[in-house]
Amino acid sequence: MLYHQHIPVLTAEIIDLFRPTPADSLLDATIGTGGHALAYLAASKPGGTVVGLDTDAKAITAAQHYLAAYQDRVTLLTANFAFLKDSLMGGGILVSVASNPSAARSVEPEDQSAPRSKVNRSTSDCLFTHILFDLGIGSHQLDDPTAGFSFQSDGPLNMKFSTGERLPASSFQCVNYVTQRLGHLPTAYELIARLSVPELTLIIRTLGEEKYAGRIAQAIKRHLPATTQGLSAIIAQTVPVHYEHGRINPATRTFQALRLAVNRELESLAVALPQAADLLTGNGTLAVISFHSLEDRIVKQYFHQSALSLVTKKPITATPDEIKSNPRSRTAKLRAARKKPPS
């Protein structure tokens, strides 16, 4: 079944920030179902181009469908942004542009079952005018019970963005050890089944910023739920009745922690940002939309420590109207930095 088109956040702000022209190119490192890319292509008619990556092959299929009107200006690739340069080179994008800028070549995605599209870039230097990361999880993934991301529908405790078996090493040695013992990247259930209470507590406290991490970890290990709603029910029974004064679901932070651990999202972001900066043209802009403090901290620190120039001294957030129409945008923060032109 085709993913529904995810409603992207801060789209108007992204287009206003980038101000794309027909000569510009966008690397969308998290293209999802193509919402931001669609706006970029419309704003950069008739020649602006987009290279879109996503680790979820089903998202790439959906993006190909929703961006069909611009197919001659779009290249799609199933890939994890942690391996940005390798993926672009492996897909033939960097090589083909460098060796023959005017040639259109087929791109071989990492997942051979994923759709193929063509490279049609006018630039001759393998670099992008704009690069965008829209972090976190899309509504199309939350709405898929089989993916195991949401506590609002029942499904297996999976939480893997893709079936691929390549991710950066985890910053938690216990996760690396479980991966080594299993011989494959673990699902959320495989993690909770094999981690000790102290290890699980550390992950929930660190990646979920959950103050009840200890008691939640003990309850999880005692019951070992295999489904999303099973896990959600255990958490609800474990934390105080008036958890966070009812502002968020008691399972929110634990689900976030497990998802981040399973997909190594923070580790992937940390290694992707320097690669993205290398792929920018002089005066090119790197923009990142984050949804929680852990992501935002990594982006903020990298921008301040890198050679990039800050475009946004403070993060851009959604307007009240956008939050009303798209509640997911409530926690979104957009930061951007620009590459200095060569001297």
pLDDT per residue over 114-136, tens digit each? 333 333 343 334 589 999 999 97
**pLDDT band at residue 150, thresholds of 50, 70 and 90?**
confident
DSSP symbols for 88-142? HHHTTHHHHHHH-TT---B---SSTTS---B-----SSS-EEEEEEE-S--HHHH
* 162 belongs to a structural domain: no
* 343 belongs to a structural domain: no
pLDDT value at residue 1: 73
Q: Give yes or no: residues 132 and 175 share one domain.
A: no
CA geometry: angle at 30 spanning 177 and 130, to 5°? 125
Residue 15 token pair: 């287009």
Residues of the chain with pLDDT > 90: what percent?
75
pLDDT value at residue 95: 53
* 3 belongs to a structural domain: no
pLDDT per residue over 185-212, tens digit each? 999 999 999 999 999 999 999 999 999 9
Boundary residue ending a domain (248, 263, 278): 263
Structural domains of the chain, count: 2
Angle between helices 252-263 and 265-278 (to 10 degrees): 60
Q: Give yes or no: residues 84 and 197 share one domain.
A: no
Torsion sign across C-alpha atoms 251, 148, 117, 43:
negative
Q: Give yes or no: residues 124 and 270 share one domain.
A: yes
pLDDT value at residue 91: 79
Q: Give yes or no: residues 251 and 293 share one domain.
A: no
pLDDT per residue over 74-117, tens digit each? 999 999 999 999 999 887 787 533 333 332 222 333 443 333 33
**pLDDT band at residue 11, thresholds of 50, 70 and 90?**
very high
For 196, the domain range is 169-263
Q: Give yes or no: residues 121 and 19 share one domain.
A: yes
Q: Is pLDDT above 60 for 300? A: yes
Neighbours of 69 (CB within 10 A): 11
Torsion sign across C-alpha atoms 134, 31, 307, 271:
positive
Among 343, 275, 268, 281, which Cα is nearest to 306's?
A: 275
Residues of the chain with pLDDT > 70: what percent?
91
* C-alpha span between 89 and 75 (Å, rounded): 13
Burial 136-165 (b: 16+ CB within 10 A, else e): bbbbbbbebbebbbbbeeebebbbbbbebe
Which is higher by pLDDT, 90 or 143? 90
* 148 belongs to a structural domain: no
* 160 belongs to a structural domain: no
Boundary residue ending a domain (246, 263, 280): 263
pTM for the full model? 0.89
Domain at 58, CATH number? 3.40.50.150
Q: Give yes or no: residues 225 and 299 share one domain.
A: no
pLDDT value at residue 105: 28
pLDDT per residue over 17-52, tens digit each? 999 999 999 999 999 999 999 999 999 999 999 999
Please tell me whether residue 283 adopts helix, strand or coil conformation: strand
Residues 130, 20: contact at Cβ < 8 Å? yes
